[in-house]
Amino acid sequence: MKNHEGYHDPTAGKAIRRAHRRRKTSAKVRRLTYRIGELPGSLVSLVK
C-alpha cells in the first residue's frame, strides 16, 4: 500500500488487512449465534 505521496506505507496496509479480518470473524460469530439461538430451550443475549 502506498500513501498519498506515493511512498510505501506498511502500517496502513496492516490496518486495512486487520480490519478486513475482523469483519470476517464477526460475520462467523453472528452466524454461530444465530444457529445456537435456533436450538430449543436456548437463551441467547448479545451485548455490544
Q: Is 46 a member of any domain?
A: no
Domain of residue 23 covers: 1-39
The total domain count for the chain is 1
Asked whether residue 19 is domain-assigned, the answer is: yes
Q: Does any domain span residue 47?
A: no
In a domain, 48, yes or no: no
1-18: string of b/e by CB count within 10 Å (b at 16+)?
Answer: eeeeeeeeeeeeeeeeee
Tell whether 9 is covered by a domain: yes
- Residue 45, domain member (yes or no): no
Q: Report the pLDDT value the prediction gives residue 45, as an integer from 0 to 100.
A: 54
Instruction: Say if 3 falls within a structural domain.
Output: yes
10, part of any domain: yes
Q: What is the pLDDT along the chain (48 residues), one digit of tens a residue?
A: 777 888 888 888 888 888 877 766 666 677 766 666 666 665 555 555
Is residue 14 within 8 Å of residue 1, measured between CB atoms?
no
